[in-house]
Amino acid sequence: MAVESTPLSPATILGYPRIGRRRELKRAVEASWAGRTTTDELETTARDLRLATARHLVDLGLDAETAAVPGSFSFYDQVLDAVALLGAVPERFRDLVSTGSTGSTGSTGSTGSASAGALSLEGYFTLARGEGDKPPLEMTKWFDTNYHYLVPEIGPDTPIGFVDDRVVREFSELAHPADGGQAVVTRPVLVGPVTFLLLSKAESSAAALRGSHAHSSAAGDEAPDGFDPLDRLDDVVAAYADLLRALAAAGAPWVQLDEPALVTDLLDVPFSDVADAVRRAYSRLATDLSPVPGRDSTDGPAERPAILVTAPYGDLRSDAGDGLALLAGTDVEALAIDLVKGTVPAGPVAGLETKTLVAGVIDGHNIWRADLDARLTTLEGLSALGAGAVAVGTSTSLLHVPHDVGDEPRLDPDLKSWLAFADQKIAEVVTLATGLAEGRTAVAAALAGSTAAVRSRADAPGVVVPEVRDRTAALTPADVERAPYAERAAAQQARLDLPPLPTTTIGSFPQTAEIRRTRASWVRGELSDAEYTTAMRAEIASTVALQEELGLDVLVHGEPERNDMVQYFAEQLDGFVTTVHGWVQSYGSRCVRPPILWGDVSRPAPLTVEWAAYAASLTSKPVKGMLTGPVTILAWSFVRDDLPLGETADQVALALRDEVTDLEEAGIGVVQVDEPALRELLPLRRSAHADYLDWSVRSFRLSTAGAGTATQVHTHLCYSEFGQVIGAIDGLDADVTSVEAARSRMEIVPELADAGYGRGIGPGVYDIHSPRVPSVAEVTELVTLAAKSIDPRLVWVNPDCGLKTRSYAETKESLRNLVTATRSVRATL
Ligand SMILES: Nc1nc2c(c(=O)[nH]1)N[C@@H](CNc1ccc(C(=O)N[C@@H](CCC(=O)N[C@@H](CCC(=O)N[C@@H](CCC(=O)O)C(=O)O)C(=O)O)C(=O)O)cc1)CN2
Ligand SMILES: [Zn+2]
């Protein structure tokens, strides 16, 4: 087998959506979880999907033989896949592991402390979803995206070995398809060893014994003294070496190792430590293992495939150090760099002369059709770097974009001509590769089409709306200021008359299958607008009645009318369009359809007032109006690339500001503006933080500062490691801030107090990511803890986040316990 001679294809992508064009994988996975199908049936569906996808990518122009097609499938998450590959299972799940025969070709368990064993597919899902009293692996945002990965827990004794050859089987199944049809030689994609460990948290042995789990921030806090997951690098690398041997034996010419940890400063690891780890890992994998047969005058087979290391999501070079020079200094055969977010040096880079440079010139994280002419110029300029070869690629995996613009018949044709989803991006990559190899004339028609689309977009009505621009241009510092907090707090208490430790929820109540079915019928035209409104009002009425019965103090309408907290707003604002099939995986089987923000934003009519006012008409308790903030609307949409984000944020903020005024006029005295994505949009490089925090905080304040003194403004943040934005939380100037805190046992409260935060704070006492019902004792303890760390008059009691993904049974019981516990603590104040 002439594996050594396969050069990497000149046109490739770093990854492709795996959920399926019609969310086939989501449906199959959820059916299997619900027990409606067996795991064998799930495996079959997944295999069919992988085969069909690989052949589809070949049809789109990726080469079937030169590893152009990435093997980037996952049942749930690529980081969890690495945990399974390594058998790196936390103590509390160790009973799920079989240590006997694993069915693996290379299950030598290369190193090992505790014996590493393979997880079944059910076991794999159990790590993701928890079971009984065993909480799942924690979930957190993947770089600056709305994708969430599962956080590995690695301790000094965590088993680590090559225990699961799923990747090898997935390669072989496409290289030698059982149906005798088109074979595809893929490039298996794995999280690289350095990134894997940098994203892991230290497993606390104490927590492992208790069966509870260590908290998210300050990983290592409870872990054995001084242990750092990176201490296990040699073990992880040894297991990867075994995997690479197995892939080589199966005939894989290339493998892709993703190392995005190299583009961020946010992991709090000095560059010198990262550099040491990279050098050590890749000297073992790339230098010590032979990529060609017969090295050292032996007749041995190749020991590994050629290696492509990728660094998506940002710039490899920063003030901290030069990650490009670092990678170029290793013996891997190819490097992929992000040329959408990253920059290139002007001159040659030592070490690149023997490597293929995969130039990520097509944006994997946004949906605009590329200016191919400009991108070709960038590609031509890369010759200055002195790489052995240049291939064309995407900046990131295409995981973050929907499948196909052709699937959106309802989009305006002009607008459609400006867009490229995953399949269109593949065509762009292929065109650029042809243009680079054969010259511009070979792709003249495609270049002309791209240029025409870019021009038509720039000139289209709605892209620039003078009235919107005039309004943002006229803003003054006074527009982001409210009266002093003390004055507000007094006016609000006089109006709302709340008890100490007021109880509330974060907004959504369970999105039941019935609500979704009703909306689906309405979207299909089977229900009239009036019938749909009646159904949603009935849902609101029952949610309000439930909250009254439970004895909550500040009620919500429950958000039943929202398909999604961002899509719902985008559907009603000018400047956005939404899609029908544009699903993107957010985590596991959960998907979102990010709206497309294409023009200047304005609000043609009120967005939420009718629903909130209806809820308020049903109760004498205060009802909290519920809006999504400007930063989160941008973070979870595809944003325009022709206007600075800060300016777009101000446009959205002004639309929300008008909504706040309308809510006030409808008699609503409490308004919450959610900003769960404040942390997510934080730039990966520290040098960009001040500017980001400045515009994000300003736009939030712009959206809320029109509120009167007696109107109580709440905000809600979640999915956050708060440390990096703690100053910004104070800067938002909300009267009450609710935050995720149940799993970290309220640690955010003293942190906020130390940072000088002195307004209302609602640390979550109920972890809504799990079906577990918190007991009265547990909530009592958490509330007591919070009231000890900050002035108890500031403390609110609420769940961690909205209840939309929970069932009514759990919700009722949990909220009942929450109210009971609060009353008992109140009695002690
Ligand atoms: N945009 C966004 N990003 C976010 C969050 C969020 O809420 N929104 N939360 C965080 C966590 N991420 C999440 C992402 C998705 C979901 C989620 O529940 N997604 C739903 C889809 C939500 C939705 O758009 N629902 C639509 C469409 C629902 C649907 O699939 N309908 C069926 C038909 C309905 C039926 O007959 O049952 C269909 O189209 O086939 C609606 O309610 O109208 C899912 O994957 O299942 C939850 C959390 C972070 N990022
Ligand atoms: Zn939330």
Report pLDDT digits (tens) over 303-319. 999 999 999 999 999 99
- Residue 295 confidence class, pLDDT cut points 50, 70, 90: low
Element housing 310 (H / E): strand 306-311
With a 6 A CB cut-off, is 523 part of the ligand 1 pocket? no
pLDDT at 569 over 70: yes
- Residue 5 confidence class, pLDDT cut points 50, 70, 90: low
CB-based burial label for 405 (10 Å; 0-12, 13-18, 19+): buried
Is 743:216 a contact under the CB 8 Å cutoff? yes
With a 6 A CB cut-off, is 36 part of the ligand 1 pocket? no
pLDDT at 81 over 90: yes
Measure the CA–CA gap between 361 and 339, rounded to whole angstroms: 5
> Which pLDDT does position 102 carry in this prediction?
43
Residues in CB range of 207: below 8 A, 6 or more apart: 213, 214, 222
> Which pLDDT does position 160 carry in this prediction?
97
Q: Which atom of ligand 1 is nearest to the CA of 26?
A: 45
With a 6 A CB cut-off, is 596 part of the ligand 1 pocket? no
pLDDT at 719 over 80: no
pLDDT at 721 over 80: no
Which DSSP letter does residue 391 get? E
> How many Cβ atoms from other residues are within 10 Å of residue 419's Cβ?
24
Query: Which of 506, 539, 564 to mutate for ligand 1's pocket (most ligand atoms within 8 Å of CB)?
Result: 564
With a 6 A CB cut-off, is 146 part of the ligand 1 pocket? yes
pLDDT at 704 over 90: yes
Average pLDDT for the chain: 93
| Identity of the residue numbered 496 | L
> Which pLDDT does position 344 carry in this prediction?
85
With a 6 A CB cut-off, is 586 part of the ligand 1 pocket? yes
Query: Which of 147, 569, 580, 590 to mutate for ligand 1's pocket (most ligand atoms within 8 Å of CB)?
Result: 590
Query: Which of 590, 592, 678, 807 to mutate for ligand 1's pocket (most ligand atoms within 8 Å of CB)?
Result: 592
With a 6 A CB cut-off, is 387 part of the ligand 1 pocket? no
Residues in CB range of 403: below 8 A, 6 or more apart: 17, 21, 421, 422, 423, 581
pLDDT at 108 over 90: no
> Which pLDDT does position 215 carry in this prediction?
35
Written as six digits, the tokens of 439 are: 């010259």
Q: How far does residue 563's CA lie from ligand 1's centre (Å)?
A: 7
Cα dist from 655 to 372, 472, 481, 627, whole Å: 35, 11, 17, 11
With a 6 A CB cut-off, is 519 part of the ligand 1 pocket? yes
Bridge partners, residue 389, by sequence = 356
Active site residue 769: yes
> Which pLDDT does position 115 carry in this prediction?
73
> Which pLDDT does position 293 carry in this prediction?
80
CA-nearest residue for atom 38, ligand 1, is 520
The annotated binding site for Zn(2+) is made up of 716, 718, 740, 801
> Which pLDDT does position 332 carry in this prediction?
98
Is 819:551 a contact under the CB 8 Å cutoff? yes
pLDDT digits (tens, 9 = 90+) for 637-652: 999 999 999 999 999 9
> Which pLDDT does position 100 carry in this prediction?
55
- Ligand with the closest atom to the CA of 588: 1
Which DSSP letter does residue 287 get? I
CA-nearest residue for atom 23, ligand 1, is 563
Percent of the chain beyond pLDDT 70? 94
Q: How far does residue 520's CA lie from ligand 1's centre (Å)?
A: 12
**In sequence order, what E strands does 46-86 have?**
69-71
Q: Which of 124-138, 264-278, 640-654 has the lowest mean pLDDT?
A: 124-138
Which DSSP letter does residue 442 get? G
pLDDT at 112 over 80: no
> Which pLDDT does position 218 carry in this prediction?
37
> Which pLDDT does position 297 carry in this prediction?
54
- Residue 209 confidence class, pLDDT cut points 50, 70, 90: very low
pLDDT at 422 over 50: yes
Written as six digits, the tokens of 469 are: 């621009």
With a 6 A CB cut-off, is 356 part of the ligand 1 pocket? no
pLDDT digits (tens, 9 = 90+) for 16-74: 999 999 999 999 999 999 999 999 999 999 999 999 999 999 999 999 999 999 999 99
356-375 mean pLDDT: 98
> Which pLDDT does position 222 carry in this prediction?
46
Written as six digits, the tokens of 343 are: 């920059």
pLDDT at 104 over 50: no
- Ligand with the closest atom to the CA of 674: 2
Dihedral angle computed from the Cα positions of residues 741, 744, 750 and 754, in that order, rounded to the nearest 10 degrees = -100
> Which pLDDT does position 132 carry in this prediction?
83
Beta strands across the sheet bearing 254-258: 69-71, 186-191, 254-258, 306-311, 334-338, 356-362, 389-394
558-565 mean pLDDT: 98
Q: Which of 39, 40, 28, 43 shows the shortest CA–CA distance to 122?
A: 39
pLDDT at 143 over 50: yes
Written as six digits, the tokens of 271 are: 């560059």
Measure the CA–CA gap between 608 and 591, rounded to whole angstroms: 24
177-194 mean pLDDT: 97
Kindly provide the ipTM of the predicted complex, given to two decimals: 0.98
Cα dist from 756 to 50, 78, 140, 415, 730, whole Å: 53, 39, 27, 47, 8
Query: Considering the entire predicted model, what is its pTM?
Result: 0.94
- Residue 110 confidence class, pLDDT cut points 50, 70, 90: very low
CA-nearest residue for atom 48, ligand 1, is 590
Query: Which of 150, 511, 586, 675 to mutate for ligand 1's pocket (most ligand atoms within 8 Å of CB)?
Result: 586
| Identity of the residue numbered 544 | V
The annotated binding site is made up of 23-26, 141, 506-508, 559, 590-591, 636, 674, 680, 716, 718, 740, 801
With a 6 A CB cut-off, is 512 part of the ligand 1 pocket? no
> Which pLDDT does position 771 carry in this prediction?
82
pLDDT at 101 over 70: no
CA-nearest residue for atom 35, ligand 1, is 517
pLDDT at 681 over 90: yes
> Which pLDDT does position 4 carry in this prediction?
47
Percent of the chain beyond pLDDT 90? 88
Q: How far does residue 144's CA lie from ligand 1's centre (Å)?
A: 20
The annotated binding site for L-homocysteine is made up of 506-508, 559, 674
> Which pLDDT does position 425 carry in this prediction?
98
**In sequence order, what E strands does 51-208 have?**
69-71, 97-98, 118-119, 139-141, 148-150, 153-154, 186-191, 201-202
Q: Which of 192, 194, 332 shows the shortest CA–CA distance to 269?
A: 194
The annotated binding site for 5-methyltetrahydropteroyltri-L-glutamate is made up of 23-26, 141, 590-591, 636, 680
> Which pLDDT does position 119 carry in this prediction?
96
Answer positive or negative: Cα dihedral of 455, 456, 458, 459.
Answer: positive
pLDDT digits (tens, 9 = 90+) for 794-823: 999 999 999 999 999 999 999 999 999 999
pLDDT digits (tens, 9 = 90+) for 148-159: 999 999 999 999
The strand pair at 596-602 and 574-577 is best described as: antiparallel
With a 6 A CB cut-off, is 805 part of the ligand 1 pocket? yes
Residues in CB range of 27: below 8 A, 6 or more apart: none
pLDDT digits (tens, 9 = 90+) for 726-749: 889 999 999 999 999 998 889 999
Supply φ then ψ for residue 56, to 5 degrees: -60, -40
Give the residue carrying structure tokens 């008890």.
499
3-state secondary structure of 687: helix
What length is written for the chain? Answer: 829
570-577 mean pLDDT: 98
Q: How far does residue 332's CA lie from ligand 2's centre (Å)?
A: 42
